[in-house]
């Protein structure tokens, strides 16, 4: 079966938000696709801290549940061999290309192109000529920075994009967005959607250049907007249903948005344009839209708190300030980071130090030892903090402190939380025989793709057939 498939991984998009915008006529390409493809609910059997995109996307890629694949933190998958859907397809002669698959592994990749997600620290970009693209995007994602100037050369980034076939107009759109953000910081929120649009144009160019039959791209802007700015989206509809969220002052939105800005709608309009281009390329039957999980409005943790998420300005500079300058640190998504190259004794020592640090009488960090000399850490403090507050700890019997605002920034006023149900938009010929009581287990995705492309499905992937 010689069919081509483009998978748009639109991370965590809320289906009700999308359908309301479709009903208002804002998303004509989604409207047209929904007339052909039913919206199928996807599901995972996870809750709490195990309901994370970097866990569930591994399930979607491998057909394995968390208890089987063992990847629980962002970047885990690159450290352990696993058979992913594109590996299965490549073995059968199906040319594959991937842009930014979340928490995936490039080990043994034999396909046409593979650009790792921005949080990968060990994955290899293939071909190597695309590495400047990954490096440029990763640096800005790690620093939450809307700038052309930091770190690696934008010239190398542009050259790599042009060699990959990305048009001048697509590059100009991103440059305009960066320049607008530089002139007006309240325009910087548009950068994630502009980067998603560029990633799509890159994906489309590489798909055409390499004639891939399985092509996927992971896009995260709307997930980012839902996490940060739900309070700016149709408050007249959402506030009565979620008063616990809308009663909170969203200081981040007040600082970063102009009156009337609606990042969630903007992001989905960008996705609608991307969808239209994908359908024009391979036809509606050759396009899948999937979200992995979804988000719903967040109303606080069990104590009605947890809205504020913080992140170091510069992870390595923080390590130096703590007397841990010898430790290699890799920023991950949001408030998370991974420390590398530790001996067993150092794992214990560093974990005890970070876990002992407090801010306003609360723990600042939580740490979990990982295999291979790694230590996963996240900023566990989630209530309001002032820049002059003191981070306190003790080392070698001496009390120490640093000013919170010198090392940490508020990156998220959390307005969206994860939900186990996502959705899939696909031609029914792909999903026929895979639904369980009208719901598609997310672990079924590799099997249904393989079967739909005429590839023998391993027994481990016959989870819903």
Q: How far apart are CA 190 and CA 269, in angstroms?
A: 12
Phi–psi pair at 97, nearest 5 degrees: -145, 140
Residue 385 CA to its chain's centroid (Å): 26
Query: Please, how many CA atoms are within 13 Å of residue 129, restricted to the half-sphere of its CB?
Result: 11
- pLDDT of 46 reads 82
Find the CATH number of the domain harbouring 424. Answer: 3.40.720.10
| Tokens (6 digits) for 55 | 């866990």
Q: Both 114 and 224 in a single domain?
A: yes
Rounded Cα distance, 366 and 378, in Å = 6
Judge if 347 and 270 occupy the same domain.
no
290 plus 344 within the same structural domain = no
Whether residue 437 sits in one domain with residue 342 = no
Are residues 312 and 453 located together in one domain of the fold?
Answer: no
- pLDDT of 67 reads 82
Greatest Cα-to-Cα distance within the chain, rounded to the nearest angstrom: 69
Last residue of a domain, one of 413, 428, 448: 413
Q: Assess whether 430 and 445 both reside in one domain.
A: yes
Q: What is the tens place of the pLDDT at every residue in 245-281? A: 999 899 899 999 999 999 999 999 999 999 999 999 9
Give, in degrees to the nearest 5, the angle at Cα 105 between 101 and 111: 80
Angle between helices 28-36 and 263-282 (to 10 degrees): 50
**CA 436 to centroid of chain Cα atoms:** 27
The span from the CA of 365 to the CA of 373, in Å, is 19
Q: Are residues 316 and 435 in the same domain?
A: no
pLDDT under 50: residue ranges of the chain: 463-465
Question: Which of 413, 430, 448 corresponds to the end of one domain?
Answer: 413
Among residues 413, 432, 451, the one where a domain terminates is 413
On whether both 265 and 388 belong to a single domain, the answer is: no
Residues 189, 54 share a domain = yes
- Helix residue ranges per DSSP H, 211-293: 221-229, 235-238, 243-246, 251-256, 263-282
Count of domains forming the chain = 2
- CA-CA distance, 461 to 463, in Å (whole number)? 5
Each residue's pLDDT tens digit, 386-440: 999 999 998 878 899 999 999 999 998 999 999 999 999 999 999 988 888 889 9
Same domain, residue pair 67 and 136: yes
* Beta strands 358-359 and 390-395, pairing class: antiparallel
CB 430 within 8 A of CB 288: yes
**Cα(129)–Cα(252) distance, rounded to whole angstroms?**
38
User: φ, ψ for residue 15 (rounded to 5)?
Assistant: -65, -35
Closest CA to 148 of 172, 129, 169: 172
- State residue 317's pLDDT score: 94
- In this prediction, residue 142 carries a pLDDT of 74
pLDDT at site 296: 98
**399 lies in the same domain as 437:** no
Domain span at residue 371? 308-413
| pLDDT score recorded for residue 145 | 56
pLDDT of residue 343: 94
């992870």: which residue's tokens? Answer: 315
d(C-alpha 358, C-alpha 356), whole Å: 6
Same domain, 344 and 404: yes
Q: Are 112 and 139 in contact (CB under 8 A)?
A: no
């Amino acid at each position: 079966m010689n069919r081509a498939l483009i998978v748009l991984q639109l991370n965590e998009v809320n289906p009700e938000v999308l359908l309301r915008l479709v009903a208002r006529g804002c998303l004509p390409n989604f409207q047209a696709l929904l007339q052909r493809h039913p919206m199928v609910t996807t599901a995972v059997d996870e809750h709490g801290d195990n309901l994370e995109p970097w866990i569930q996307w591994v399930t979607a890629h491998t057909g394995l549940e968390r208890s089987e694949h063992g990847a629980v933190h962002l970047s885990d998958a690159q450290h352990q061999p696993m058979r992913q859907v594109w590996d299965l397809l490549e073995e059968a002669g199906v040319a594959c290309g991937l842009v930014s698959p979340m928490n995936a592994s490039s080990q043994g990749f034999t396909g046409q192109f593979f650009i790792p997600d921005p949080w990968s620290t060990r994955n290899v970009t293939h071909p190597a000529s695309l590495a400047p693209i990954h490096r440029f995007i990763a640096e800005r994602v790690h620093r939450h920075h809307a700038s052309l100037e930091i770190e690696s050369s934008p010239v190398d980034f542009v050259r790599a994009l042009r060699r990959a076939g990305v048009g001048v107009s697509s590059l100009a759109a991103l440059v305009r967005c960066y320049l607008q953000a530089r002139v007006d910081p309240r325009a910087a929120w548009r950068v994630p959607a502009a980067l998603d649009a560029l990633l799509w144009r890159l994906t489309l160019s590489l798909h055409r250049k390499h004639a891939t039959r399985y092509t996927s791209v992971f896009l995260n802007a709307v997930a980012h907007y839902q996490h940060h700015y739900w309070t700016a989206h149709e408050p007249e509809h959402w506030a009565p249903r979620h008063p616990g969220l809308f009663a909170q002052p969203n200081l981040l939105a007040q600082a970063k948005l102009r009156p009337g800005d609606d990042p969630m709608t903007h992001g989905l309009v960008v996705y609608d344009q991307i969808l239209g281009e994908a359908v024009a390329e391979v036809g509606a039957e050759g396009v899948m839209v999937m979200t992995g999980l979804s988000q719903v409005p967040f109303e606080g943790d069990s104590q009605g708190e947890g809205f504020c998420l913080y992140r170091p300005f510069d992870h390595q500079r923080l390590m130096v300030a703590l007397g841990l300058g010898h430790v290699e640190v890799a920023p991950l998504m949001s408030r998370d980071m991974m420390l590398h190259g530790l001996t067993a004794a150092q794992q214990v020592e560093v974990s005890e130090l970070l876990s002992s640090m407090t801010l306003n009488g609360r723990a600042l960090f939580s740490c979990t030892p990982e295999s291979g000399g790694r230590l996963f850490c996240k900023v566990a403090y989630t209530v309001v903090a002032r820049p002059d507050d003191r981070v306190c700890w003790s080392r070698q019997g001496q009390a120490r402190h640093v000013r919170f605002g010198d090392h940490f920034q508020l990156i998220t006023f959390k307005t969206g939380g994860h939900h186990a149900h996502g959705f899939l938009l696909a031609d029914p010929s792909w999903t026929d025989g895979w639904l369980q009581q009208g719901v598609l287990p997310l672990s079924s995705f590799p099997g249904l793709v393989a079967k739909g492309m005429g590839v023998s499905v391993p027994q481990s992937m016959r989870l819903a057939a």
